[in-house]
Amino acid sequence: MDYHEVQNFIQTYPTVLTLGEGKLRERIFWLKGVGVGERRYLGLQKGEKEISCFDDIEISTILIPSVRSLTPVIKSFPSLLTNDITSSSYVLTFLRDTCGVKNVGRFVTRLPPVLGFEVTELERKWRVIEEFGMTSYELVRFPAFFSYPYERIKVRFEYMKFMEIKRVPLDVVLRWGDGDFAENVCGDRDGGKRFREWGKEEEDK
């Protein structure tokens, strides 16, 4: 990473310079211990160059070789360095014990912002798909599920129940707009009109 890239990183997230060496080390080694950024999950091949986002600045000495696999993730999601470790630990416990995610490191590597989410928000989203009969199998295939708004998740799964739709991949339920969801998932042929009207009626109840 060249000097200008380092400057851009710091300008985008200057808070990193206020952490201090102790806190920075603590967060980096905590993330490493969780398994975030492991080579096999980032798709890096043996011999492929790893780039540290802290090259040419004083705190570069903290990123010793044993933790450099984290730097692509940190570069994309610098907030990982300032997340409260206790709160993030609650998220990991929820993913493992409630959702049944066995490899939380891989899960977080695919959706790093999840460590900053509120457990209460994650829980109510999880309950929607759990009540629909989905398990950790579907969740680990689509970690981005937790990044979608609760209202979008709730209304779509309730509509599928109404339409007696049984099994649909999680990403297929959420990735399309209303019209495509109604037609491609639920079999409507009206551009999503009935789905939108149904959703409005549910809100008014």
Q: Is the pLDDT of residue 34 over 60?
A: yes
Residue 37: what pLDDT? 72
Helix/strand/coil for 129: helix
Distance CA 25, CA 21 (A): 6
Residue with tokens 């629909």: 132
Residue 36: what pLDDT? 84
Per-residue pLDDT band for 50 (boundaries 50, 70, 90) equals: very low
Task: State how far the alpha carbon of 114 is from the alpha carbons of 1, 27, 54, 77, 107, in Å.
Answer: 26, 15, 23, 11, 9
- Flag whether the pTM goes above 0.85: no
- The domain locations on the chain are 3-81, 148-205
